[in-house]
A and B are shown apart, each in its own frame.
Chain A
Amino acid sequence: MKVNTLTIIAVFSCLLAGSLSSFAQTSNDGPAASSQRQKTTPAAQDQTTPDKTTPSPAENLPNAPSSTTAPSLTDLGFPPEATQGNAKIQALLDKRTHMLKIHQRLGLITTIPLVAAIFSSAGAGGHNSSSTGRDVHLALGAVAGDLYCITAYYAIRAPKPPGTVTRGPIKFHKAMAWIHGPGMILTPILGAMAYSQKSNGEKVHGIASAHMPVAIVTAGAFGAALLSVSFKF
């Protein structure tokens, strides 16, 4: 009888201990769990209510972590600034991407009159040139130059997040701008001089004769810049 009593006491003790333990966990972890959810949702205050049709982790994943024991983001020791969203930086990145997308599109469009200007140069200079050929070449060159300036504007004015270090193919792409940039200023000036000389019936001479070599170098640097960000070398 004494043994039975002891066994019953022991069983009740176990059950009581179990109940108290689970109750203690629930009562202790209740607020902790809710704060954990707030903390594990990065930048809750900055989120524009993400289009989540999914409930919290523990609610519907078959073997989702239980809210009572699951570790939280704060347990991992990340600095608070690393886990909190920054709407300002996001807006800056959005603006940057928007401007660089325009830069990319305009750069591709610029390629068309630029290539056409190169091909039309055959009818603008040399022995078989004509005034029509020169005018076509001038018009294509002018369009290419204008589009180039607008393209460059979007690259130069695109904001850059602080602390960004330039690495990779973009370094070459930017380096090429130091060649095709001055080239795109110099080429039309030399072209205008050559046009004037040719229109006066003169042979192209002096610095104006550098128009074609400068244009070739400029177009080459432009093409290399374009390819450097398009293909992996």
Chain B
Amino acid sequence: MNKKILVALLLLLPTFAWADGQWVLEQCTLTYHAAHPLHESQGVSHAARGKGVCHAGQCDFLIAVPVKSFDSGDSNRDLHMLQVTRGAQFPMVVVRTRLAESDLTAATIHADLEVEFAGQTARYKQVPFQLVTQGNQTRMSGTIPATLADFKIEPPSLLTIPIKNDIPVRVEMTWHPL
């Protein structure tokens, strides 16, 4: 009898090992920061959607947000941002990352990110994110050290002075497992 149980367990082992889990992005706030000698501006978007699929101990995450959903409080600036980032031609910012499922319980993770934006793909290695788990929700926050040069974006200028190359993007996300 014990042998039969052992055989059954051995047969079921692959099924358990490859049990898939999924994560869904519940809330997200993305804030880009642009600096010019005369003033600084921030654009905020709450329109991101995301999904994580775990398989064999690894989780693939995908987060996407429409470029035009970023609101800086100035319609002229937003339209200009859309133009310089070629946001009508490449309307989505897509972020992909892969994390070990066991990392999702840690307080800090370092993620390798792949960001598609403005028709270009940039990679950011070991970007730190803070994780806080409450109930079945996991809040993740961090800053992506993006620059205009990473995406071959010509720096917009005001009064002939271009903005700074750095456009860090603050990420605040709340995920929950399905």
Q: Which residues of A contact B159 (CB under 8 A)?
A: 104, 108, 230
Alpha-carbon gap, A83 to B91, bound state (A): 6
- List the one stretch of A39-47, A141-149, A207-215 in contact with chain B: A39-47
Determine the chain A residues whose CB is within 8 A of the CB of B119 once the complex forms. 47, 50-52
B3 touches A3 (CB 8 A): yes
Q: Are B39 and A71 in contact (CB under 8 A)?
A: no
Contact A42 B10 (CB under 8 A): no
Rounded to whole angstroms, the CA-CA distance of A84 and B89 in the bound complex is: 8
Query: A residues 64-100 with Cβ under 8 Å of B?
Result: 64-66, 68-73, 75-78, 82-87, 89-90, 92-94, 96-97, 100
Q: Is A168 part of the contact surface with B, judged by Cβ < 8 Å?
A: yes
Contact B112 A63 (CB under 8 A): yes
> Which listed segment binds B: A4-12, A121-129, A195-203?
A4-12
Known contacts A75-B62, A231-B39; A10/B83 CB under 8 A: no
Interchain CB contact under 8 A, A71 and B62: yes
Which residues of B5-60 have CB atoms within 8 Å of chain A's CB atoms? 6-7, 10-11, 13-14, 18, 20, 38-41, 49-53, 55, 58, 60
Segment at the interface with B among A112-120, A131-139, A159-167, A178-186: A159-167
A85 in contact with B60 given A14-B11, A161-B79, A167-B73 (CB within 8 Å): no
A30 within 8 A of B: no
A19→B119 CA distance, assembly (Å): 38
A168 neighbours in B (Cβ, 8 Å): 72-77
- In the complex, the answer to whether B52 meets A71 with C-beta atoms within 8 Å is yes
Taking chain B's interface residues, is the majority helix, strand, or loop, or is none over half, making it mixed? Answer: mixed
The one of A76, A87, A96 in contact with B62, judged by C-beta atoms closer than 8 angstroms, is A76
Q: List the B side residues contacting A51 at CB < 8 Å.
A: 119-120, 152
| Contact status A76-B91, CB under 8 Å | no
One of A10, A73, A97 near B11 (C-beta < 8 A): A10
Q: Does A220 contact B (CB under 8 A)?
A: no
Shortest CB distance A172–B (Å): 11
Q: Does B173 contact A (CB under 8 A)?
A: no
Q: Are A70 and B53 in contact (CB under 8 A)?
A: yes
Interface size on A, residues (CB 8 A): 68
Indicate if the CB atoms of B60 and A69 lie closer than 8 Å: yes
For B74, list chain A residues within 8 Å (CB): 167-170
Max chain A Cβ within 10 angstroms of own Cβ: one of B10, B72, B82, B83: B83
Contact B91 A42 (CB under 8 A): yes
Q: Which residues of A contact B3 (CB under 8 A)?
A: 3, 6
The answer to the question of B144 belonging to the interface, with a C-beta cut-off of 8 Å to chain A, is: no
Q: B64 contacts which of A47, A73, A89, A229 (Cβ < 8 Å)?
A: A73
Instruction: Report if A97-B51 is in contact (Cβ < 8 Å); known contacts: A10-B11, A85-B91.
Output: no
Indicate whether B114 reaches chain A with its CB closer than 8 angstroms.
yes
B165 close to chain A: CB less than 8 A: no
A46-63 contacts to B, CB under 8 A, are 46-47, 50-52, 54, 57, 61-63
B14 touches A17 (CB 8 A): yes
State whether the Cβ of A27 lies closer than 8 Å to any Cβ in chain B.
no
For A90, give its contact among B14, B49, B80, B89 (CB under 8 Å). Answer: B89
Q: How far is the CB of B7 from chain A (nearest CB, A)?
A: 5
Which of A18, A47, A72, A169 lies in contact with B89, CB distance below 8 A? A47
Contact in complex: A43, B7 (CB < 8 Å)? no
Q: With A164-B75, A229-B76 in contact, do A78 and B92 touch (Cβ < 8 Å)?
A: yes
**A13 proximal to B (CB < 8 A):** yes
Cross-chain pairs A/B with CB under 8 angstroms, 10 sampled: A47-B90, A64-B98, A69-B20, A69-B53, A83-B92, A108-B160, A164-B79, A167-B73, A168-B76, A231-B38
Q: What 3 pairs across the A-B complex have the smallest Cβ distances?
A: A168-B74, A50-B119, A232-B39
